[in-house]
Amino acid sequence: MRQRSHLCANEVVASLCVTKATFGKTVQEYKEFKQIPKPNQNLRDHMTDWELILNMVGEKATTDITIAKDAKGLPELKHTAKEGGDIAKNTRKELEQKIGKSIISSENYLYLTEKKKKQLRG
């Protein structure tokens, strides 16, 4: 059981590092930016499509880099998470340059969905 909890802790650290590298904000800063009212709410539930896609790119890149380098231990994991996050960040910046606007949005997907549901109900 200790092995699994250690693995989960490393996964959480990697995810936090990927978010910081990809978007330039910690998870807490991002939650504040999106004005998520409850601290226990999952940031991903409030992300736009592009934010989710880029987060997934960063996490998948991190997984593949970690496996390819056979990275072990927290320092190595943080490094591969930064590398994976940088891949997503570079993708984000290139896309932002092409579309002329930021992918990072204060829009809150859950609230947008509720607003759209209300509009459909009339």
Residues making up the chain, counted from first to last: 122
Q: Half-sphere exposure (CA, 13 Å, Cβ side) for 69?
A: 17
The model's pTM: 0.81
Contact by Cβ (8 Å): 20, 26 = yes
Among candidate residues 16, 25, 23, 21, the one with its CA nearest the CA of residue 86: 21
32 conformational bin, left if phi > 0, alpha if psi -120 to 50, beta if neither: alpha
How far apart CA 35 and CA 32 sit, in angstroms, is: 5
CA angle 99, 64, 26 (to 5 degrees): 55
Confidence of residue 11 (pLDDT cuts 50, 70, 90): confident
Contact by Cβ (8 Å): 50, 103 = yes
Domain boundaries, the chain: 2-121
Q: Give yes or no for residue 4 having a pLDDT over 90.
A: no
pLDDT in tens, 19-57: 999 999 999 999 999 998 888 888 998 999 999 999 999
